[in-house]
Amino acid sequence: MVIGGGLAALMGVLLGFPCFRLRGAFYALATLAFAEVLRILAIYFVDFTGGAEGLTVPLVGESLYYFQFLSKVPYYYVMLALLLVMIFVYHKVSTSKLGYYLSAIREDEDAASSLGIDTFKCKLKAAAISAFFTGVLGVFYVQYTRFIHPASAFSIWRSCDPIIISALGGPGILGPIVGSSIITPITEVLIMTLGGGFATVKMMIYGAVLVIAILRMPGGLIVPLRKAYQRMARRKPLQRRF
């Protein structure tokens, strides 16, 4: 996992050098195009990647050394530990100088640059951190499913999933958690009820939920949840007074 995360961080930095000179939709299109290039390369180098058929991780049985468990419970606790680590890292970064710089860049990159912030360097650091944990989770996913092929690793949906979850949930660390807690059950229910034969209908429902959420709550679901929590917090002191 550490090696996979390190390689992903390196690729994130290398990709950032040409792509961070782009902004907005052009940057998003460049990253999606890069994922498509990787998918084609993975199909082409059959001897190394297994081509379109992919690779299967051999099952050796219950083994902590090979990170294989016959029960799903150990994977759950590993995933929970990784989530807690990511929350801790997010908190440390967001309250550090780098976090304040990134917040300024998010609001107005030109203004941040005029104040002396090295926006390019800050974005490279953010890309490296993000790519590192993406690589770690990618290795975890492969070890959990014991299978990987180009479509599962570099498909357009694999690239869009984090963006969709963040757009639905909202900013911060709670936004993606809320978004994934909604998107994942919806996706699994649609797969179980509609099956593979109605994949297009599943994607239509999936997209409709996203469009409605963005139109009704452009700041993500975390905004109304936060307002509801604040209203409840204000009511408690009033109830105590009476």
pLDDT digits (tens, 9 = 90+) for 62-103: 888 888 888 899 999 999 999 999 999 999 999 999 999 998
Where along the chain do its domains lie?
Answer: 1-153, 155-242
Q: Is the pTM of this model over 0.85?
A: no
Nearest CA-CA partner of 47 in 58, 39, 55, 35? 55
Q: Tell me: the pLDDT tens digits for 92-136?
A: 999 999 999 998 988 888 898 888 899 889 999 999 999 999 999
